[in-house]
Structure 1
Amino acid sequence: MMTKLKSFLDTFLPPESSTHSDPKALISLASAALMVEVLLSDYERKPEEKQTLLALLKSSFSLDQSTAEQLLKQAEKAQYEATDYFRFTSQINDLCTPEEKIALIQNLWQVAYADGELHYYEEHVIRRIADLIYVSHTEFITTKLKVTEASNVMPT
Protein backbone atom coordinates (compact mmCIF):
# COMPACT_ATOMS: atom_id res chain seq x y z
CA MET A 1 0.00 0.00 0.00
CA MET A 2 2.78 2.46 0.88
CA THR A 3 4.56 1.64 -2.38
CA LYS A 4 1.44 2.52 -4.37
CA LEU A 5 1.03 5.77 -2.46
CA LYS A 6 4.67 6.70 -3.00
CA SER A 7 4.36 5.90 -6.71
CA PHE A 8 1.21 8.04 -6.93
CA LEU A 9 2.89 10.98 -5.19
CA ASP A 10 6.01 10.67 -7.35
CA THR A 11 3.80 11.36 -10.34
CA PHE A 12 3.02 14.82 -8.96
CA LEU A 13 6.21 15.64 -7.10
CA PRO A 14 9.67 15.57 -8.59
CA PRO A 15 12.01 13.10 -6.91
CA GLU A 16 14.30 14.67 -4.31
CA SER A 17 17.38 13.88 -6.34
CA SER A 18 16.05 15.93 -9.26
CA THR A 19 15.65 19.05 -7.13
CA HIS A 20 19.43 19.12 -6.72
CA SER A 21 20.20 18.05 -10.27
CA ASP A 22 21.87 20.11 -12.90
CA PRO A 23 19.32 22.59 -14.33
CA LYS A 24 20.59 21.86 -17.86
CA ALA A 25 19.82 18.16 -17.34
CA LEU A 26 16.31 18.98 -16.12
CA ILE A 27 15.68 21.29 -19.08
CA SER A 28 16.99 18.78 -21.60
CA LEU A 29 14.88 15.94 -20.19
CA ALA A 30 11.72 18.06 -19.95
CA SER A 31 12.24 19.41 -23.47
CA ALA A 32 12.93 15.95 -24.88
CA ALA A 33 9.83 14.53 -23.19
CA LEU A 34 7.68 17.27 -24.74
CA MET A 35 9.22 16.54 -28.15
CA VAL A 36 8.36 12.85 -27.66
CA GLU A 37 4.81 13.92 -26.84
CA VAL A 38 4.56 15.72 -30.19
CA LEU A 39 6.16 12.77 -31.99
CA LEU A 40 3.55 10.39 -30.56
CA SER A 41 0.54 12.69 -30.85
CA ASP A 42 -0.39 11.67 -34.41
CA TYR A 43 -0.23 7.96 -33.49
CA GLU A 44 2.44 7.30 -36.12
CA ARG A 45 6.13 6.81 -35.47
CA LYS A 46 8.07 7.59 -38.59
CA PRO A 47 11.86 7.19 -38.73
CA GLU A 48 12.38 10.76 -39.97
CA GLU A 49 10.62 12.12 -36.88
CA LYS A 50 12.93 10.20 -34.55
CA GLN A 51 15.99 11.27 -36.59
CA THR A 52 14.87 14.90 -36.38
CA LEU A 53 14.28 14.61 -32.65
CA LEU A 54 17.75 13.14 -32.10
CA ALA A 55 19.34 15.85 -34.26
CA LEU A 56 17.50 18.53 -32.26
CA LEU A 57 18.66 17.03 -28.97
CA LYS A 58 22.25 16.96 -30.22
CA SER A 59 22.22 20.54 -31.49
CA SER A 60 20.09 22.11 -28.74
CA PHE A 61 22.00 20.59 -25.84
CA SER A 62 25.44 20.02 -27.39
CA LEU A 63 25.28 16.23 -27.05
CA ASP A 64 27.05 13.45 -28.91
CA GLN A 65 25.01 10.71 -30.60
CA SER A 66 25.25 8.25 -27.73
CA THR A 67 24.21 10.80 -25.09
CA ALA A 68 21.35 12.03 -27.28
CA GLU A 69 20.07 8.46 -27.69
CA GLN A 70 20.30 7.93 -23.94
CA LEU A 71 18.39 11.17 -23.31
CA LEU A 72 15.74 10.08 -25.81
CA LYS A 73 15.25 6.79 -23.94
CA GLN A 74 14.89 8.67 -20.64
CA ALA A 75 12.46 11.10 -22.25
CA GLU A 76 10.34 8.29 -23.70
CA LYS A 77 10.13 6.70 -20.26
CA ALA A 78 9.29 10.02 -18.57
CA GLN A 79 6.63 10.80 -21.19
CA TYR A 80 5.13 7.32 -20.85
CA GLU A 81 4.90 7.65 -17.05
CA ALA A 82 3.49 11.19 -17.10
CA THR A 83 -0.22 11.83 -16.80
CA ASP A 84 -0.03 15.39 -18.09
CA TYR A 85 2.41 18.07 -19.25
CA PHE A 86 2.72 19.85 -15.89
CA ARG A 87 5.78 17.96 -14.73
CA PHE A 88 7.68 19.10 -17.81
CA THR A 89 6.20 22.55 -18.41
CA SER A 90 6.69 23.60 -14.79
CA GLN A 91 10.41 22.78 -15.06
CA ILE A 92 10.61 24.74 -18.31
CA ASN A 93 8.85 27.70 -16.66
CA ASP A 94 11.14 27.57 -13.63
CA LEU A 95 14.42 27.24 -15.50
CA CYS A 96 14.11 28.73 -18.99
CA THR A 97 14.25 32.22 -20.39
CA PRO A 98 11.52 33.42 -22.78
CA GLU A 99 13.96 32.94 -25.68
CA GLU A 100 14.64 29.33 -24.64
CA LYS A 101 10.89 28.68 -24.47
CA ILE A 102 10.46 30.02 -28.00
CA ALA A 103 13.35 27.83 -29.17
CA LEU A 104 11.57 24.82 -27.62
CA ILE A 105 8.37 25.65 -29.51
CA GLN A 106 10.39 25.90 -32.72
CA ASN A 107 11.90 22.46 -31.98
CA LEU A 108 8.42 21.05 -31.42
CA TRP A 109 7.35 22.36 -34.83
CA GLN A 110 10.42 20.75 -36.40
CA VAL A 111 9.47 17.39 -34.91
CA ALA A 112 5.88 17.82 -36.12
CA TYR A 113 6.94 18.69 -39.68
CA ALA A 114 9.74 16.09 -39.87
CA ASP A 115 7.56 13.74 -41.90
CA GLY A 116 6.53 16.51 -44.30
CA GLU A 117 3.02 16.92 -42.94
CA LEU A 118 1.28 18.35 -39.91
CA HIS A 119 -1.43 16.40 -38.17
CA TYR A 120 -3.97 18.50 -36.28
CA TYR A 121 -3.20 16.55 -33.08
CA GLU A 122 0.43 17.66 -33.36
CA GLU A 123 -0.62 21.28 -33.73
CA HIS A 124 -3.00 20.94 -30.79
CA VAL A 125 -0.25 19.54 -28.55
CA ILE A 126 2.18 22.30 -29.52
CA ARG A 127 -0.49 24.97 -28.92
CA ARG A 128 -1.22 23.50 -25.49
CA ILE A 129 2.46 23.40 -24.54
CA ALA A 130 2.97 26.97 -25.80
CA ASP A 131 0.10 28.12 -23.59
CA LEU A 132 1.49 26.29 -20.56
CA ILE A 133 4.96 27.82 -20.93
CA TYR A 134 3.57 31.29 -21.66
CA VAL A 135 4.67 31.61 -25.27
CA SER A 136 2.46 34.14 -27.04
CA HIS A 137 0.27 33.22 -29.97
CA THR A 138 2.36 35.55 -32.13
CA GLU A 139 5.54 33.61 -31.31
CA PHE A 140 3.66 30.33 -31.74
CA ILE A 141 2.74 31.32 -35.31
CA THR A 142 6.11 32.95 -36.06
CA THR A 143 8.01 29.79 -35.13
CA LYS A 144 5.60 27.67 -37.15
CA LEU A 145 6.19 29.84 -40.23
CA LYS A 146 9.98 29.73 -39.75
CA VAL A 147 9.91 25.94 -39.71
CA THR A 148 7.57 25.62 -42.68
CA GLU A 149 9.68 28.02 -44.74
CA ALA A 150 12.91 26.20 -43.84
CA SER A 151 11.46 22.77 -44.59
CA ASN A 152 9.59 23.81 -47.75
CA VAL A 153 6.21 22.54 -46.58
CA MET A 154 2.96 24.43 -46.72
CA PRO A 155 1.62 25.64 -43.37
CA THR A 156 -1.86 24.46 -42.47
Structure 2
Amino acid sequence: MFVKIKEFFSVQLSIEENSDPQQQLQLAAAALLIELSRADYRRDREEQIAIEAALKKSFSVTDEQLTALIELAEEENQQATSLYEFTKLVKDNYSAEQRFELVKMLWEVAIADGEISKYEDHLIRKIADLIYLPHSDFIRAKLAVIKA
Protein backbone atom coordinates (compact mmCIF):
# COMPACT_ATOMS: atom_id res chain seq x y z
CA MET A 1 0.00 0.00 0.00
CA PHE A 2 2.70 2.51 0.99
CA VAL A 3 4.70 1.58 -2.09
CA LYS A 4 1.77 2.57 -4.30
CA ILE A 5 1.34 5.87 -2.48
CA LYS A 6 5.04 6.64 -2.79
CA GLU A 7 4.98 5.66 -6.45
CA PHE A 8 1.96 7.85 -7.13
CA PHE A 9 3.54 10.90 -5.55
CA SER A 10 6.96 10.39 -7.07
CA VAL A 11 5.89 9.36 -10.57
CA GLN A 12 2.51 10.96 -11.21
CA LEU A 13 3.07 14.22 -9.39
CA SER A 14 6.87 14.33 -9.56
CA ILE A 15 7.17 14.66 -5.81
CA GLU A 16 10.22 13.71 -3.86
CA GLU A 17 9.92 11.61 -0.73
CA ASN A 18 10.59 14.45 1.73
CA SER A 19 8.51 17.06 -0.06
CA ASP A 20 5.69 19.28 1.17
CA PRO A 21 2.90 17.22 2.75
CA GLN A 22 0.37 19.07 0.59
CA GLN A 23 0.26 16.15 -1.86
CA GLN A 24 -0.62 13.71 0.93
CA LEU A 25 -3.49 16.02 1.75
CA GLN A 26 -4.79 15.65 -1.78
CA LEU A 27 -5.08 11.93 -1.20
CA ALA A 28 -6.79 12.44 2.15
CA ALA A 29 -9.29 14.91 0.66
CA ALA A 30 -10.02 12.59 -2.26
CA ALA A 31 -10.56 9.65 0.10
CA LEU A 32 -13.01 11.68 2.21
CA LEU A 33 -14.95 12.72 -0.89
CA ILE A 34 -15.12 9.11 -2.05
CA GLU A 35 -16.26 7.96 1.38
CA LEU A 36 -19.04 10.54 1.24
CA SER A 37 -20.17 9.30 -2.17
CA ARG A 38 -20.68 5.88 -0.58
CA ALA A 39 -22.54 7.18 2.49
CA ASP A 40 -26.02 6.71 1.04
CA TYR A 41 -25.16 3.20 -0.21
CA ARG A 42 -25.26 4.12 -3.87
CA ARG A 43 -22.73 5.72 -6.17
CA ASP A 44 -24.29 8.20 -8.55
CA ARG A 45 -22.53 9.39 -11.68
CA GLU A 46 -23.32 12.98 -10.67
CA GLU A 47 -21.41 12.51 -7.43
CA GLN A 48 -18.41 11.08 -9.28
CA ILE A 49 -18.43 14.09 -11.60
CA ALA A 50 -18.63 16.42 -8.58
CA ILE A 51 -15.66 14.65 -6.95
CA GLU A 52 -13.59 15.01 -10.10
CA ALA A 53 -14.53 18.67 -10.52
CA ALA A 54 -13.78 19.50 -6.88
CA LEU A 55 -10.39 17.81 -6.95
CA LYS A 56 -9.44 19.35 -10.26
CA LYS A 57 -10.47 22.82 -9.12
CA SER A 58 -8.83 22.59 -5.70
CA PHE A 59 -5.57 20.93 -6.65
CA SER A 60 -5.02 21.93 -10.30
CA VAL A 61 -4.13 18.41 -11.45
CA THR A 62 -4.12 17.07 -15.00
CA ASP A 63 -6.67 14.49 -16.12
CA GLU A 64 -4.03 11.75 -15.85
CA GLN A 65 -3.04 12.82 -12.33
CA LEU A 66 -6.71 13.08 -11.36
CA THR A 67 -7.41 9.53 -12.53
CA ALA A 68 -4.41 8.20 -10.61
CA LEU A 69 -5.34 10.18 -7.51
CA ILE A 70 -8.93 8.88 -7.54
CA GLU A 71 -7.80 5.29 -8.09
CA LEU A 72 -5.35 5.51 -5.20
CA ALA A 73 -7.92 7.23 -2.97
CA GLU A 74 -10.45 4.49 -3.77
CA GLU A 75 -7.92 1.86 -2.75
CA GLU A 76 -6.94 3.73 0.42
CA ASN A 77 -10.58 4.26 1.29
CA GLN A 78 -11.34 0.54 1.00
CA GLN A 79 -8.37 -0.39 3.19
CA ALA A 80 -8.97 2.26 5.84
CA THR A 81 -10.61 1.17 9.07
CA SER A 82 -11.73 4.67 10.03
CA LEU A 83 -11.76 8.29 8.89
CA TYR A 84 -9.05 9.14 11.42
CA GLU A 85 -6.05 8.68 9.14
CA PHE A 86 -7.54 11.09 6.61
CA THR A 87 -9.03 13.64 9.00
CA LYS A 88 -5.86 13.80 11.12
CA LEU A 89 -3.84 14.86 8.07
CA VAL A 90 -6.40 17.53 7.27
CA LYS A 91 -6.74 18.75 10.85
CA ASP A 92 -2.98 18.95 11.37
CA ASN A 93 -2.09 20.58 8.05
CA TYR A 94 -5.02 22.58 6.69
CA SER A 95 -5.74 26.14 7.70
CA ALA A 96 -9.23 27.02 8.94
CA GLU A 97 -10.10 28.32 5.47
CA GLN A 98 -8.86 25.14 3.77
CA ARG A 99 -10.91 23.01 6.17
CA PHE A 100 -13.94 25.17 5.36
CA GLU A 101 -13.33 24.67 1.63
CA LEU A 102 -13.04 20.91 2.11
CA VAL A 103 -16.40 20.81 3.87
CA LYS A 104 -17.87 22.88 1.02
CA MET A 105 -16.53 20.27 -1.42
CA LEU A 106 -18.18 17.55 0.65
CA TRP A 107 -21.52 19.37 0.48
CA GLU A 108 -21.09 19.80 -3.30
CA VAL A 109 -20.68 16.05 -3.69
CA ALA A 110 -23.61 15.34 -1.37
CA ILE A 111 -25.97 17.60 -3.28
CA ALA A 112 -24.76 16.55 -6.74
CA ASP A 113 -27.47 13.88 -7.10
CA GLY A 114 -30.19 16.36 -6.17
CA GLU A 115 -30.69 15.39 -2.54
CA ILE A 116 -28.73 15.22 0.67
CA SER A 117 -29.42 11.96 2.45
CA LYS A 118 -29.38 11.72 6.22
CA TYR A 119 -26.29 9.50 5.91
CA GLU A 120 -24.43 12.13 3.89
CA ASP A 121 -25.44 14.86 6.33
CA HIS A 122 -24.26 12.75 9.25
CA LEU A 123 -20.92 11.92 7.64
CA ILE A 124 -20.19 15.53 6.74
CA ARG A 125 -21.07 16.55 10.29
CA LYS A 126 -18.71 13.85 11.62
CA ILE A 127 -15.87 14.90 9.31
CA ALA A 128 -16.35 18.56 10.24
CA ASP A 129 -16.09 17.63 13.91
CA LEU A 130 -12.99 15.49 13.34
CA ILE A 131 -11.19 18.30 11.50
CA TYR A 132 -12.24 20.80 14.17
CA LEU A 133 -14.38 22.95 11.93
CA PRO A 134 -16.67 25.11 14.08
CA HIS A 135 -20.37 24.32 13.75
CA SER A 136 -21.06 27.83 12.44
CA ASP A 137 -18.64 27.18 9.55
CA PHE A 138 -20.23 23.78 8.95
CA ILE A 139 -23.60 25.52 8.50
CA ARG A 140 -22.08 28.36 6.47
CA ALA A 141 -20.50 25.83 4.06
CA LYS A 142 -23.80 23.99 3.65
CA LEU A 143 -25.73 27.20 2.96
CA ALA A 144 -23.09 28.43 0.51
CA VAL A 145 -23.44 25.24 -1.54
CA ILE A 146 -27.24 25.07 -1.36
CA LYS A 147 -27.63 28.69 -2.43
CA ALA A 148 -25.15 28.35 -5.32
Unaligned runs of 5+ in 1: 1-6, 151-156
Larger radius of gyration: 1
Following superposition, the deviation at residue 21 of structure 1 comes to: 4.9
Aligned twin of 1:130: 128
Following superposition, the deviation at residue 121 of structure 1 comes to: 0.3
Aligned twin of 1:91: 89
Aligned twin of 1:23: 21
Aligned twin of 1:78: 76
Q: Distance in 2 between matches of 1:90 and 1:21?
A: 18
Aligned twin of 1:149: 147
> Under a length normalisation based on structure 1, what TM-score does the superposition of the two structures give?
0.83
Q: Which runs of 4+ in 1 moved over 6 A?
A: none
Unaligned runs of 5+ in 2: 10-16
Aligned twin of 1:3: none
- What amino acid is the match of 2:117? H
Residue 134 of structure 1 aligns to a residue in which SS? coil
Residue 38 of structure 2 aligns to a residue in which SS? helix
Residue 44 of structure 1 aligns to a residue in which SS? coil
Aligned twin of 1:33: 31
Aligned twin of 1:43: 41
Following superposition, the deviation at residue 64 of structure 1 comes to: 1.4
Following superposition, the deviation at residue 111 of structure 1 comes to: 0.5
> Under a length normalisation based on structure 2, what TM-score does the superposition of the two structures give?
0.87
The alignment covers a number of residue pairs equal to 138
Q: Distance in 2 between matches of 1:93 and 1:46?
A: 28
- What amino acid is the match of 1:67? Q
Q: Residues 82-121 of structure 1 correspond to what in structure 2 (within 5 A)?
A: 82-121=80-119
Q: Percent identity?
A: 41
Q: Distance in 2 between matches of 1:141 and 1:20?
A: 37
